[in-house]
Amino acid sequence: MIEQYYSVEQIAEMIDMHPKTIQRYIREGRLKAQKIGKAWRVTGHDLSTFVEGTDEDVMSDTSPGMQAIIGAAVKNITVSTVIDIPVENKAEALQVMNWITASLNSQSSEYGYTSMASQFIEPEHIVRIMLSASPSFMAVIMSYLSELEMK
């Protein structure tokens, strides 16, 4: 699978922040990025982690004893993903975003906490969904998306 990389300007537009703020977050280490040529690039995974405010590297930077303490404190697993859905026009983009929002709002409490950010990228005819949810709820969403893809 090919990793998607985003520029500072793309990220700023997606999350409605000034590009200089994104650059500051990269300098401060709050947003993981790689220098490719003269420009900073951020992977979709690192962007999702940043947007959701989680840091998966906390466990790798700690001793085994501390990992056990942290592991015991974790009650819920959260999965984050970036989903690009091709659409024909803005009306279809709104339908897709409304469908995902309705799915989140109507979910059973057994699925726990969910978070979503969405964006219509008009030049590319894509709806970009950044979703964070429990693995079980994410499985339901992915199942729905698989069914849509087959149609």
pLDDT at position 59 is: 44
pLDDT at position 57 is: 46
- Residues 1-10 have pLDDT tens digits of 567 889 999 9
* Closest to 87 measured CA to CA, from 72, 76, 98: 98
pLDDT at position 139 is: 85
* Closest to 128 measured CA to CA, from 92, 88, 93, 76: 93
pLDDT at position 76 is: 58
Low-confidence ranges of the chain (pLDDT < 50): 54-63, 65-70, 72-74
pLDDT at position 141 is: 80
User: Would you say how long the chain is, in residues?
Assistant: 151
pLDDT at position 73 is: 44
Q: What is the residue-averaged pLDDT of the chain?
A: 78
48-51 own/partner pairs: CB under 8 Å, 24+ apart: 48/80, 48/81, 48/82, 48/130, 48/132, 49/80, 50/25, 51/15, 51/80, 51/117, 51/130, 51/132
Give the chain's radius of gyration (CA, Å). Answer: 17
pLDDT at position 108 is: 73
